[in-house]
Structure 1
């Protein structure tokens, strides 16, 4: 069966679905495993994470891009939300929404963590990856720019387990072997570290990431949603409408660890973790 010619498909404004010069992804499990091992040794090298994803391309990726980007919804999102970082970093405007809104929760999260949407873009740009004027670029950028919204909507923090849960939630939404490899391997490493800490091994770490994956699968695709409209609505209402349940097992892990005097946000820095720690992806 011949490969689909995505470079012959265009949006209404003429933007090509996939630029003909964009390199074709090549599946290589050995390359992914090699880069994962390098990531284990050098946890700060985020370029290795992208190399893992690039080594394990999803067959469903381009169909997902086409389904959204060439739809009426995609046209609407591109026209009303052309630059999500500008929208998400305008906290003064976002704070004009009612208290209790997703916008307020997002601003609180980003300000408490010292983050910005523009900062995430800058980190990605440091990798020096080529950009192309196509809808794949738009889809990929939108996926990147909504990452921190995933944290807010799901209730998973930026601790090591929270990051693995977001990865598996994302896999539930957009399945890729890269999410599975990093998410489950990271969770298994957290479990290993917890077993070495007094009382820490009782926490349902693997159950928490499996719950995150199931929640992501059961929720409509978040990048398909009108972010501007969601931001104005009450956070609890948005979660209910998107079928995002409480992260009960993740919170149970935190409860158990805190009762044992273990800081969930500092587990990987503890001396007991030794050299086996894996920084969140």
Structure 2
């Protein structure tokens, strides 16, 4: 079926005929009890990415479609779709990104991804493994764009890939694109972290700052990622209202003083259990 076949009077489409929402895309349903059940399953196996997607499916945001519509049906959104149809191709071309100036967002991004052994394509593969249906519509383009900027959020905010850093990025994402799924995963995950690791570290202050930062920062999904990558990192942070993640850094400082490795909190929990036994 061609895109022009979707150009019906009652179907919102972009100028090229791509529908806002594909006719076969199922309607979302708000199911909070199901979300809690999936969160409990996620706690049993934190690598079970499928449960994360099920949580988001069970807690759809009523403001999501209006955000998609506002961006994708605007002249700016049309231009973004033309210049950046698929971000992983841009983000994984480190050879091209390294040609941008030293100190740029691009260099910081490449450093982060190479140090962590990550790639944008790897995030796509993780998504594909879950087996979620994909639709040729503007919602999908917007959703992929949110997915593909996740690691860029780490770079811009300064939050690492440790347990707290991931919770902070979730709350930053909520500030950017409010959704109860972000809140459940971010706050419940942080409370679970506090329960596992007894400490004076101000975990809740850290995630609250992340949420405020995300709200103050213009949504990355609507920015030209090519232009952002070319900017000086510190200048980009200033332009985007992204401050130093003070409370996150403070958590790390306190944990280290307490003999806890911020990047291996599970090991500390196991040590506590062994000592108690």
Per the shorter chain, which TM-score range? over 0.9
In the TM superposition, 1:201-212 aligns within 5 A as 201-212=199-210
Q: Which residue of 1 aligns with 2:69?
A: 66
> Which secondary structure does the structure 1 equivalent of 2:130 belong to?
coil
* CA distance in 2: counterparts of 1:6 and 1:164, whole angstroms: 43
1:56 aligns with 2:56: no
Q: Which stretch has the larger CA shift, 61-70 or 257-266?
A: 257-266
Q: How far has the Cα of 1:7 moved from its partner? A: 6.5
Paired position in structure 2 for 1:277: none
Q: Which moved more, 1:258-267 or 1:48-57?
A: 258-267
Instruction: Give the TM-score, by structure 2 length.
Output: 0.93
Contact 1:9 1:17 in 2 (8 A): yes
For these two proteins, the number of residue pairs brought into alignment is 265
Aligned counterpart in structure 2 of residue 215 of structure 1, from 213, 216, 222: 213
Which residue of the partner structure matches residue 224 of structure 2? 226
Q: Does 1:194 align with 2:174?
A: no
- SS at the partner of 1:130? coil
Among 24, 30, 37, the alignment partner of 2:27 is 24
Instruction: Quote the Cα distance in structure 1 between the aligned partners of 2:272 and 2:14.
Output: 50
CA distance in 2, matches of 1:26, 1:78: 28
Deviations 1:68-116, CA, capped at 9 Å, x for gaps: 1101111111111112101100001000011000000000000000000
- Tell me the distance in 1 between the aligned counterparts of 2:254 and 2:81: 44
TM-score (norm 1): 0.92
Equivalent residue for 1:267? 265
Alignment of 1:113-192 (within 5 A): 113-192=116-195
C-alpha displacement at 1:261, in angstroms?
A: 2.0
- The alignment partner of 2:197 has SS state of helix
Root-mean-square deviation (Å): 1.4
Deviations 1:25-79 (A, max 9, x none): 1111111111111111122211001000100000000000000110111111111
Q: Does structure 2 retain, via aligned residues, the 8 Å contact 1:7–1:18?
A: no
2:102 paired with 1:99: yes
Cα distance change of structure 1 residues 255 and 233 upon mapping to structure 2, 3 Å threshold: same
Give the secondary-structure state (helix, strand or coil) at the position aligned to 1:202.
Answer: coil
The offset of 1:194, in angstroms, is 2.4
Task: Classify 1:31/1:76 alpha carbon distance in 2 versus 1 (closer, same or farther; 3 Å).
Answer: same
* Mapped contact 1:7–1:17 kept (Cα < 8 A): no
Any gaps of 5 or more consecutive residues in structure 1?
Answer: 196-200, 275-281
Which secondary structure does the structure 1 equivalent of 2:160 belong to? coil
Change (3 A) 1:123 1:172: same
